[in-house]
C-alpha cells in the first residue's frame, strides 16, 4: 500500500460509505497488506530453500542486498512489483505465485509486531 493513499484517506475525513461495492476501504487495505506479507514470506522461504544469500538474490534481480532485506521484512517502501520480480528471479511460476496468493498470510505469531508499521 502506498503512503500516498493513506495520506489521501486521512485528509478531510474520508468516508467509507462511498467505498468499493461491498468492501469497506479498510478491508481492502487489509487485503492488500495480507497479499504483500504473503509474497514477502514466500520470497524468504524460496531464497533460503535455495540456499541463497540476500546478496545473491539481489544480484539475480539486479537489485541490492539492502533492498532484498527490506523486501523480506515487508517494508512499506517495497512494491508488489518488486516482490514479484524477486519471486520470478527465484524461479516461481505463475501457478506457484497463484498458490502463494491463495494460501493464508503470515501465521499468527504473537511475537510479530512491526505489522503496524506496514499499515499502508
Residues near a copy of itself (CB under 8 A): 2-10, 16-23, 25, 28, 31-32, 34-35, 38, 48-52, 56, 59-62, 79-81, 84-85, 88-95, 97-102
Residue 60's nearest CA partner among 46, 77, 39, 79 is 46
Q: Whose grid coordinates read 512491526?
A: 114
Per DSSP (E only), the strands in 24-86 are none
Does 78 sit near DNA (CB under 7 A)?
Answer: yes
Does 62 sit near DNA (CB under 7 A)?
Answer: yes
How far is the C-alpha of 61 from the C-alpha of 107, rounded, in Å? 27
How far is the C-alpha of 62 from the C-alpha of 84, rounded, in Å? 13
- Among 26, 48, 93, 103, contact with DNA (rule: CB under 7 A): 48
Least separation in angstroms between CB 119 and DNA: 13
Q: Does an H or E element contain 5, and which?
A: helix 3-10
The three cell numbers of residue 84 are 514479484
Which partner in a copy of itself, DNA, none is near 45 (CB below 5 to 8 A by kind)? none
> Which CB atom, from 2 or from 113, has the smaller least distance to a copy of itself?
2
Catalog residues that contact DNA under the rule CB under 7 A. Answer: 2-4, 7, 48, 53-55, 58, 61-67, 69-70, 72-73, 76-79, 81-82
Amino acid at each position: 500500500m502506498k503512503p500516498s493513499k493513506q495520506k489521501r484517506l486521512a485528509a478531510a475525513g474520508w468516508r467509507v460509505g462511498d467505498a468499493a461495492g461491498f468492501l469497506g476501504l479498510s478491508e481492502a487495505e487489509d487485503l492488500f497488506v495480507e497479499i504483500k506479507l504473503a509474497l514477502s514470506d514466500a520470497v524468504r522461504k524460496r531464497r533460503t530453500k535455495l540456499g541463497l544469500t540476500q546478496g545473491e538474490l539481489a544480484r539475480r534481480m539486479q537489485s541490492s542486498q539492502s533492498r532484498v532485506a527490506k523486501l523480506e521484512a515487508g517494508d512499506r517502501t517495497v512494491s508488489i512489483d518488486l516482490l514479484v520480480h524477486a519471486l520470478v528471479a527465484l524461479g516461481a511460476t505463475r501457478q506457484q505465485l497463484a498458490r502463494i496468493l491463495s494460501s493464508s498470510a503470515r501465521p499468527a505469531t504473537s511475537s510479530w509486531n512491526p505489522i503496524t508499521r506496514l499499515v499502508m
